[in-house]
A and B are shown apart, each in its own frame.
Chain A
Amino acid sequence: MVFKAAFKHELLSSLRSKSPQLVVTVFLVLTSISSIIGWLTVRNVTKIYNDIVSQNLTKAPNPFTNVPSLYYMRDSVIYVVLIGSLMSIILGAQASLRDRKSNANELIKTRNVNLVHRILGQLSAIASIIVLLEIVALLTSFILIWVIQKTPLNIGAVFSLLGYGAVSAILMIALAAIGFTFGTISKSEESSLLYPIVGWALVTFTIPQIITSIHPVALLNPTPAVSTGTGLAQSVINVISPLAVMENFKAIANAILGVDKSIQLSLVDLLSFSLFAGVGVMASVVISSKSFGRKLDA
């Protein structure tokens, strides 16, 4: 009962809320058009390659011969890491902040409400919105790749697309749960957004840099940069690697989409990613229910 009411209320409030609409629009537009960006680039590089071949300057094969149909989606993986992650943190934080700002928490505390059920209801509503957005982005990509290739994706590619969508949604739901927690425990509205965003930046840029020596900006390029390593002992790398959640996500997503044949789906990446998502959501429910009712600073 509490779960259902919280789910319905959160769904309505989130859909009515105007504030996150800007970032949601950016996410939808960019993930949808990522295949066009990918296609334009591949087309240009192929023209360059043909120009080089016509001048007899190389005998190497075209690097884009036989690329899979989902190759055009590789930019989308980066947009999930960049925009999808931040959008989810914002959606999660806004949901818990809404109650704190309107003092609805005070009213809820006077009732016999199961807080865990309520939080699960709210998180499920946010998860539904994220899944809906992901479906729209995937559907647009599906249609655009159909138009670009003049043929629809085959069944295998459709399953890969769905698998990629599922992994992206799991990442975003976990980040929304983390955002929700910060919205519950932070003293002010700005810190509820800024702490998780700074954490996101550390996980996205700093940890992979320490492991691989790849520069932060190069980590945003869908073509993996050449890693020279930093001389860290393998045991240390093994300990900190699971913290590089975004790199794990990129590896899993690229393996599912098959954009790079050298990348195989790694069990370690899959396990550490699942662990992050599971622990993220569970910790969010526990911490948010224990910290429920904290007041915001003026």
Chain B
Amino acid sequence: MRKLLIVTKKEVQDAIRSRQALALIAFLSLSILISVWVASASFSIKMDEYNLYLAALTPDMHSQALSRPQLFPLTLIRSGIEYIEILGALFAFIIGFTSVSRERSRGTSLLLLSRPIKKSEILLAKSLGLLVIWTSVLATIYLTSIAAIIGIGHGRLQVIDYVRLGIVFLFADIYLLFWSFFAVAVTARLKQFSSAILVGITAWLMVVLVIPQIGDTMDPDNQVPGGLFGSLGIVKATETSILAHFHSFDVIRNGLEVTSITKLFERVAFAFLGIKDKYNQLPISSVAKALESSLIAVILLTVLIGISTVLISQNEETLRRRS
């Protein structure tokens, strides 16, 4: 256990020394701040437009006026979550990649292997190190998000909002660990660093950007600016009954989307934060129940890739080879 902790500590110290963790915190914090600023500025514009609309109404029309736009504070960090989804995953890959490549290029992996510690223990300790790094980074981003929502977005948070945000960041931790574990597995398995980077970037591109993009493109409501059904004047209830006739197309579209861990993470995060209207203000337990399969899938995928990483380390050459 002590040997494990020593390697874990070294992993964390390396990340601090290389300023990777600091750069991550800085970049993701900045993206959260920009997101909250952009979203609250956009909401202010919407409110100004609404006030102008109200002012234009005659007193007798006030009773029929459209309802006032409502600000749900947690929705202000929507873009920040998307940055975690896209760039967070890329950074997670880099952190995982560097964790193995650094040892191999410096030759410290050979030194490590000469000590009384198993190869699987080394990779287990590295995985623990990655967990510590990501948890620390996300804890900082969690606090930044709260500060941004209150300070920039002027949002009022209830206790339940802190919990919802906490669940999302905990889940982000699992999602980003998936990418770091994947990077460790790929880098440990491939001889060349360049091959590992290219395989990683291609996988990131497909899973994070291309598959969700194809899924979004295939969504009928994403085909016309403002939405197909909205442009045709179809109300939500009718929309659902019409779409029921096109179930097979939607099954294919949804099937494609769920092959991406990014899309699964997005669904969970958007549901808990109330960004997806149908989950807004629902109790946490109801949201968790509705998103049960996505939650389990992300956790399972991360555990599986973690196990694969440790199994790959059983190969004699894995940590020994140099690029």
Tell whether B54 is near chain A: CB-to-CB under 8 Å. Answer: no
With contacts A52-B234, A63-B231 taken as known, whether A197 is within 8 angstroms of B194 at the C-beta atoms is no
CB contacts under 8 Å to A, within B49-83, are 78-79, 82-83
Tell whether B315 is near chain A: CB-to-CB under 8 Å. Answer: no
Chain A residues lying within 8 Å of B86, measured Cβ to Cβ, are 201, 205, 216-217
Interface pair A90/B218, CB less than 8 Å apart: no
With contacts A45-B228, A47-B246, A231-B45 taken as known, whether A83 is within 8 angstroms of B210 at the C-beta atoms is yes
- Encoded as 1 (CB less than 8 Å from any A CB) or 0, chain B from 107 to 131 comes to 0000000000000000000000000
| Among B46, B90, B197, B218, contact of A228 (Cβ-Cβ < 8 Å) | B46
Tell whether A13 is near chain B: CB-to-CB under 8 Å. Answer: no
CB contacts under 8 Å to A, within B178-209, are 192-195, 197-199, 201-202, 205-206, 209
Interface pair A78/B213, CB less than 8 Å apart: yes
With contacts A60-B233, A82-B205, A201-B87 taken as known, whether A221 is within 8 angstroms of B199 at the C-beta atoms is no
Tell whether A40 is near chain B: CB-to-CB under 8 Å. Answer: yes
Chain B residues lying within 8 Å of A37, measured Cβ to Cβ, are 214, 217-218
Tell whether B159 is near chain A: CB-to-CB under 8 Å. Answer: no
Stretch at the interface among A18-26, A239-247, A248-256: A18-26
Consensus secondary structure, chain A interface: helix
With contacts A30-B210, A215-B82 taken as known, whether A206 is within 8 angstroms of B238 at the C-beta atoms is no
Interface pair A193/B82, CB less than 8 Å apart: no
Tell whether B4 is near chain A: CB-to-CB under 8 Å. Answer: no
- Encoded as 1 (CB less than 8 Å from any B CB) or 0, chain A from 25 to 69 comes to 010001000000110111011011101100101101001000000
Interface pair A197/B234, CB less than 8 Å apart: no
Q: How far is the CA of A47 from the CA of B201 in the complex (A)?
A: 37
Q: How far is the CA of A60 from the CA of B228 in the complex (A)?
A: 11
Closest to B323 in A: A189
Closest to A44 in B: B249
* Chain B nearest CB, measured from A243 CB (Å): 14
Chain B residues lying within 8 Å of A232, measured Cβ to Cβ, are 41
Interface pair A201/B198, CB less than 8 Å apart: no
Chain B residues lying within 8 Å of A94, measured Cβ to Cβ, are 194
| Among B41, B87, B198, contact of A231 (Cβ-Cβ < 8 Å) | B41
| Among A52, A193, A209, A230, contact of B201 (Cβ-Cβ < 8 Å) | A193
- Encoded as 1 (CB less than 8 Å from any B CB) or 0, chain A from 130 to 158 comes to 00000000000000000000000000000
| Among B90, B209, B217, B228, contact of A63 (Cβ-Cβ < 8 Å) | B228
The interface on chain B, measured as residues whose beta carbon lies within 8 A of the other chain's beta carbons, has a size of 63
Q: How far is the CA of A193 from the CA of B31 in the complex (A)?
A: 21
With contacts A26-B205, A190-B98 taken as known, whether A20 is within 8 angstroms of B232 at the C-beta atoms is no
With contacts A22-B199, A26-B202, A193-B201 taken as known, whether A228 is within 8 angstroms of B224 at the C-beta atoms is no
* Chain B nearest CB, measured from A246 CB (Å): 13
Q: How far is the CA of A79 from the CA of B209 in the complex (A)?
A: 10
Q: How far is the CA of A225 from the CA of B219 in the complex (A)?
A: 14
Tell whether A282 is near chain B: CB-to-CB under 8 Å. Answer: no
Instruction: Please list the 9 inter-chain residue pairs (A to B) with the smallest Cβ-Cβ separation, ordered nearest first.
Output: A213-B42, A230-B41, A58-B232, A216-B82, A231-B41, A220-B213, A228-B42, A22-B202, A63-B224
Q: List 20 A-B contacts (CB under 8 A).
A: A26-B202, A37-B214, A42-B223, A49-B232, A58-B234, A75-B214, A79-B210, A82-B209, A86-B201, A190-B94, A198-B27, A201-B86, A205-B83, A215-B82, A217-B212, A221-B216, A221-B222, A222-B217, A225-B225, A230-B41
**Given known contacts A48-B242, A229-B45, what 14 new A-B pairs fall within 8 Å (CB)?**
A19-B198, A40-B218, A45-B220, A52-B234, A58-B233, A75-B214, A83-B205, A190-B101, A193-B201, A205-B83, A210-B38, A216-B82, A223-B222, A229-B42
Residue positions of B touching A, CB distance < 8 A: 27, 31, 34-35, 37-39, 41-42, 44-46, 78-79, 82-83, 85-87, 90, 94, 97-98, 101, 105-106, 192-195, 197-199, 201-202, 205-206, 209-210, 212-214, 216-218, 220, 222-226, 228, 231-234, 238, 242-243, 245-246, 249, 266
